Amino acid sequence: MPRATSTTELSEIVRDAHDARARLRIVARGSWPARTAAVATDAALLDVSALSGVVEYVPGDLTLTAKSGTTLAEIEEATRANGQWCPLLPWGGDGGTLGATFSTATHGPCSASLGAPRDHAIGMQFVDGTGALIRAGGRVVKNVAGFDLTRLLIGSWGTLGVITEVSVRLRARPAVDETWSVEIEADDASAARLDEFRRGPLAPLAMENFNGRSLVRIGGNAAFVAASREAVKSLGAAVSADPESWTRLRESDPRPRGPLATNALADPLSQRVKKQFDPAHILNPGILGEALA
């Protein structure tokens, strides 16, 4: 198994694979076995887990740059002391890596209110299928300009390039952050109230319904949370819940984890993009449902 310990080494590995037309299956922590099982069986595992660590953190700019193998838990630890966070909070928990979160576009319960991966990325570095090291975007928000390669790579499942570094925008942590569990009725009126609250001016950070209850996370300044709290209580019988309920829910990962169902490379534009960045089709071949020669 080739293992890259630097971007230079990664470029050399991919370049050699491109020249030899040798397929590669990209892996860091290996937490996506069901999805990546669709990769060609003859693809060699390319371990990029050693590409980890925070590269640059500028609290005053609310920006952080880290290598792709850095876990979300490590980013949480780096930003907490400054009252900041990167609220990706994806399904699967904070043990996953930054690179996997962006390459799979994995979001979580807070994505509706705080944004999905594409909303947090301001820059990215990656190695394409020819071994070229490419930087897109910037490390500060004001530098984002030009062709948006960053968003092109997000959700591409490693088929256009191996992400090596991501720059993200951060947020200030809510001054008050509460979690409530609300008993809900299985009727149209209750569903309408929940939907109105979710979309309204007191919208929660997150809300997930299951087993006749709704888990609601509200956050902001004291006045906003006080108003949100009353709105939550109007939805049904509400009790304060353990904030760690969100961690447990995310780690349980209720989403389907099977292989991707559609052929994302069926249209001519996608084929041209693939040819531009991975002309030999060596990066995670098969994961997008394409036919393998």
**Distance of alpha carbon 177 from alpha carbon 243, whole angstroms:** 9
Q: Name the pTM for this structure.
A: 0.91
Confidence category of residue 145, pLDDT binned at 50, 70, 90: very low
Residue ranges covered by each domain of the chain: 7-172+260-277, 176-252
User: pLDDT exceeding 70 applies to what percent of the chain?
Assistant: 91
Report the mean per-residue pLDDT for the chain.
Answer: 90
List Cβ neighbours of 131 (8 Å cut-off, separation of 6 or more): 11, 12, 13, 14, 15, 16, 18
Q: Please tell me which residue, 141 or 180, carries the higher pLDDT value.
A: 180
Q: Which CATH number fits domain 7-172+260-277: 3.30.465.10, 3.40.50.2300, 3.30.540.10, 3.30.1280.10?
A: 3.30.465.10
List Cβ neighbours of 230 (8 Å cut-off, separation of 6 or more): none
pLDDT at residue 30 in the model: 78
| Segment 100-114, tens digit of pLDDT | 999 999 999 999 999
Average pLDDT over residues 271-275: 91
pLDDT at residue 289 in the model: 80
**Distance of alpha carbon 216 from alpha carbon 183, whole angstroms:** 11
On whether the CB atoms of residues 44 and 24 are closer than 8 A, the answer is: yes
| Segment 209-266, tens digit of pLDDT | 988 899 999 999 999 999 999 999 999 999 999 999 999 999 987 766 555 656 777 8
pLDDT at residue 39 in the model: 87
| Segment 183-194, tens digit of pLDDT | 998 888 888 999
Residue 144 has pLDDT above 50, yes or no: no
Residue 32 has pLDDT above 80, yes or no: no
pLDDT at residue 137 in the model: 79
pLDDT at residue 143 in the model: 46
> How large is the greatest C-alpha to C-alpha distance in the chain, in angstroms?
64
CATH class, range 176-252:
alpha beta
On whether the CB atoms of residues 175 and 162 are closer than 8 A, the answer is: no
pLDDT at residue 19 in the model: 98
For residue 61, count other CB atoms closer than 10 A to its CB: 15
| Segment 44-101, tens digit of pLDDT | 999 999 999 999 999 999 999 999 999 999 999 999 999 999 999 999 899 999 999 9
**Distance of alpha carbon 166 from alpha carbon 139, whole angstroms:** 9
